[in-house]
Amino acid sequence: MVIDDLARKDLLFDFYGQLLTPRQQQIAQMYIRENLTLSEISQELDISRQAVHDALKIAGNSLEGYEDKLGLVKRYLHSMDAIAKIDEKIVDLMEKAKDPALVRSMEEIKRIIDSLEE
C-alpha cells in the first residue's frame, strides 16, 4: 500500500507520538493534524518559526527512528493491504457461490473483515 507523505506522518504520529516530548507532541499535532503553517504555530506558541522548524525536524527524525526499529506502521499497512485483498476475494466468491449457506458464511466473514477496517 502506497501512501502520501502527510498520511505517513499522521500514521507515524498515531503509532509513536506518545513517545515524543510534550512540546514536540503539541507542535506535531498542530502541524500534522491541525494543518497549521510554521508561522501560525510560532505565533500561537510565541516561539520563533525556526524553533518550530527545529522541533518538527527532531520529532520527525524521532518518529522515523522508532519506525525503523519497530516497523509498526509498515506491518499495519501490510495488514490493511492483505485485508483489502481478502475482502475482494470474498466478494468474488460470494458472487460465484450457489450454496446459500456458503454465501451466509462468507457474508459473516466479510462483516468481520469490515469491522477491522473501522
For position 1, what pLDDT does the model report?
66
Q: Which domain holds residue 30?
A: 5-70
- Mean per-residue pLDDT for 11-21? 97
Q: Are residues 62 and 16 in the same domain?
A: yes
Looking at the structure, tell me whether residues 9 and 47 fall in a common domain.
Answer: yes
Q: Does the pLDDT of residue 33 top 90, yes or no?
A: yes
Do 45 and 27 meet the contact criterion of CB atoms below 8 Å apart? Answer: yes
**11 and 66 assigned to the same domain:** yes
84-94 per-position pLDDT tens digit: 899 898 888 88
Together in a domain, 82 and 66: no
Q: How confident is the model at residue 74 (pLDDT cuts 50, 70, 90)?
A: very high
> For position 26, which CATH number holds?
1.10.10.10
pLDDT band for position 39 (50/70/90)?
A: very high
Helix boundaries (H) for 1-118: 5-16, 22-28, 38-45, 49-70, 72-96, 100-116
Say how many domains are in the chain.
2
Are 15 and 43 members of one domain? yes
Q: Are residues 65 and 96 in the same domain?
A: no
95, 45: one domain: no
Sign of CA dihedral 100, 106, 112, 114: negative
What is the pTM assigned to this prediction?
0.78
pLDDT of residue 25: 97
Asked if pLDDT for residue 22 goes beyond 90, the answer is yes
Selected residue with higher pLDDT from 56 and 93: 56
92 to 13, 18, 82, 109: CA distances (angstroms): 36, 41, 15, 13
Is 63 within 8 Å of 13 (Cβ atoms)? Answer: yes
State residue 14 phi and psi, 5-degree precision. -60, -45
